[in-house]
Structure 1
Amino acid sequence: MTLHIETPALLFSATSLILLAYTNRFLTIAQIVRSLKKNYDEVKNKSILVEITNLNLRLTLIRYMQLFGVLCLFLSVFSMLVLFLEWQMTGIYFFGASLLCLLISLGISFWEISISVNALRVHLSDLMEEEK
């Protein structure tokens, strides 16, 4: 089984875009947390604390998404290096590890998105109840 040096390079563009999306999510949630904290300091509403706790979990998940995304990129580059040195099996293992890191990152991303969707559904159900 052989792996060409170009194959791990295919992950560069995808991983870079994923990391950019993760960073944008992080920045958006951080901004929401700041505004909710300011709102909580003024109003002292318990539901705001629940939202902040939810957002804190999401920030933690995004940190792990970024960690595994960066590991994916690192392992891809490292596999290219060992393939350049003609250590075929080592390159294959490092590339496989980079793919595994990408899968973990995407799985955590799915988890974070599902938490976000559930939080939005709670808000929507509150609106529906107020409408009745």
Structure 2
Amino acid sequence: MQLTLTTPALLFPAISLLFLSYTNKFLALASLIRTLHEEDQNNPDSHVIRGQLENLRRRMKLIKHMQGAGIMSFISCVLVMFLLHLNLFQWGFIIFGLSLLFLLVSLVICLMEIKISIDALELQVQQMDH
């Protein structure tokens, strides 16, 4: 199969939309952390806030890793286009596979972060139910 410049270029809009989604996740998490920090300042003995800290730490770590994998996918796509420009098709094909792998890793990590987020919301719903 011959790889052309248009093939890796097709990933640019997809990766850009992913970054928009990841940025929104990051901003929502930052807002939540700031709100919890304010609540903690007003009520330092709150067990609810303490229980959410580990969840927030895991989510921050996952968001960092999924953004990192997404960035590596983007960088790899640019590298593929450069290699194809230099007529290094075999290397371009290999690096394109690597780019897809980074994108897959980013999406799997995103799935894990969504699961943690849903679990946290489920706990809050259960608390309100009591």
TM-score of the pair, normalised by structure 2: 0.96
Matching of residue 92 in structure 1 with residue 93 in structure 2? yes
Maintained 8 Å contact 1:36/1:52: no
Q: CA deviation at 1:103?
A: 0.2
Give CA deviations for 1:31-65 in whole Å, capped at 9, x if unaligned. 11011011012112022022122112101110111
**Which amino acid is 2:120 matched to?**
A
Distance 1:125 1:35 in 2: 21
Distance 1:85 1:56 in 2: 43
Distance 2:78 2:52 in 1: 39
Distance 1:91 1:42 in 2: 56
Matching of residue 81 in structure 1 with residue 82 in structure 2? yes
Distance 2:3 2:82 in 1: 12
Q: How many residues are paired up?
A: 129
Matches within 5 A, 1:1-132: 1-44=1-44, 45-129=46-130
3-state SS, counterpart of residue 32 of structure 2: helix
3-state SS, counterpart of residue 30 of structure 2: helix
Distance 2:81 2:107 in 1: 22
Distance 1:73 1:82 in 2: 14
3-state SS, counterpart of residue 49 of structure 2: helix
Structure 1, unpaired ranges of 5+: none
- The share of aligned pairs that are identical, in percent, is 39
Q: CA deviation at 1:110?
A: 0.1
Structure 2, unpaired ranges of 5+: none
Distance 2:104 2:90 in 1: 21
Distance 1:20 1:70 in 2: 12
**Which amino acid is 1:40 matched to?**
D
Distance 1:59 1:24 in 2: 13
